[in-house]
Amino acid sequence: MRIYSKIAGTGSCLPEQIMTNMDLEKIVDTSDQWIQERTGIKQRHVVREGETTSTLAINAAQKALDAAGVTAEDIDLIVVGTTTPDLIFPSTACLIQNVLGCSGIAAFDVNAACSGSIYALSVADKFIQSGTHKRVLVIGAETLTRMVDWNDRTTCVLFGDGASAIVLESSNEPGILSTHIHASGAHGDLLNATVGVSTGLKNEPNGGLKIRMKGNEVFKMAVLTLGRMVKETLKANGMNKSEVDWLIPHQANLRIITATAKKLNMDMDQVIVTVDKHGNTSAASVGLALDEGIRTGQIKRGDILLLEAFGGGFTWGSALIKY
């Protein structure tokens, strides 16, 4: 009998501090109209001093545990998707594990940029399918505003902070139907951060840590790649586009989301959209949209969900789920 991973509970955490497009107008040469027309973003949440990727993740995780009706002691494994860990080591997953109090279980981070939550979900699903683990906590969490260049109007308007969490449980009934993850390092120059431990930091503010992106090229690649991803995912499950109830995309740009929905022949009222409120929260974004859809009652048990993401690396991935 096949073992499935089923979503038992979800949770989210967003910093209280909100930065609107009008706030950005005061610090960089941009405008609310320009940002909305090109991205669909109206505001984003920004961490304050003392808030970190792990503190956001812990809050999201506790909400997911509560929604699932379990405690941290019931978790067998923690997988965290993030590109903005608190520290080089210990991993963010280990920091989260310590605070939650589930010592002894495996805990590790996955870095796949904006595809991090899909990668983490895929890894967790494989552990459950193997029969070795019964309940896994999957987290996507980021504090990207700590690494944006606030003088670069093409990138600083895009990103926000947040965390999302999913509790996956072993089940005999269909849950995650399939996951698909890919990468192409050949396109790494289009979206990256050019400093690190091995290559070294720079004698600049924040060590030279900043996001660099060739926006138009990333946009074109994302639309083409996600279109192929949709076809691959549906073909693997012998399903038609019409059988998908909800598209839950990475929240990078409303134009990319709209283009992906069009390829699925889906109306936008079948798409969970949070980019206007959250901006691009990278690995947190798919989970944030999923949690919102569930908590608002839009997503119901039995619905077929298509999750997808595209990020720096390039990385991309999808998951087809019966909720």
**94 part of the active site:** no
Domain count, the chain: 2
Residue at which a domain ends, from 173, 208, 224: 173
Residues 20 and 156 in one domain: yes
**The one catalytic residue among 114, 133, 187, 278:** 114
* Residue that finishes a domain, picked among 118, 139, 173: 173
Q: Do both 166 and 185 map to the same domain?
A: no
10 & 109 share domain: yes
Residues 58 and 133 in one domain: yes
Residue 278 contacts by C-beta under 8 Å, 6 or more apart in sequence? 14, 44, 45, 160, 162, 251, 285, 288
Please tell me which residue in 45, 133, 187, 250 is annotated as part of the active site.
250
Do 198 and 101 lie in a common domain?
A: no
Single out the residue of 239, 255, 258 nearest to residue 247, CA to CA: 258
Using only the alpha carbons of the chain, give its radius of gyration. 18
Considering 146, 173, 200, which residue would you say is the last residue of a domain?
A: 173
* 195 in the same domain as 137: no
Q: Are 160 and 46 in contact (CB under 8 A)?
A: yes
Residue 250 appears among annotated catalytic residues? yes
230 and 92 in one domain?
A: no
Say whether both 107 and 159 belong to one domain: yes
In order along its 323 residues, the chain shows pLDDT tens digits of 899 999 999 999 999 999 999 999 999 999 999 999 999 999 999 999 999 999 999 999 999 999 999 999 999 999 999 999 999 999 999 999 999 999 999 999 999 999 999 999 999 999 999 999 999 999 999 999 999 999 998 899 999 999 999 999 999 999 999 999 999 999 888 888 878 888 887 877 777 788 888 878 888 888 888 889 989 999 999 999 999 999 999 999 999 999 889 888 889 999 999 999 999 999 999 999 999 999 999 999 999 999 999 999 999 999 999 99
User: Residue 114 catalytic?
Assistant: yes
Q: Does residue 168 sit in the same domain as residue 183?
A: no
In this structure, the number of other CB atoms found within 10 A of the CB of residue 83 comes to: 24
CATH number at residue 258: 3.40.47.10
Range of the domain at 263: 178-322
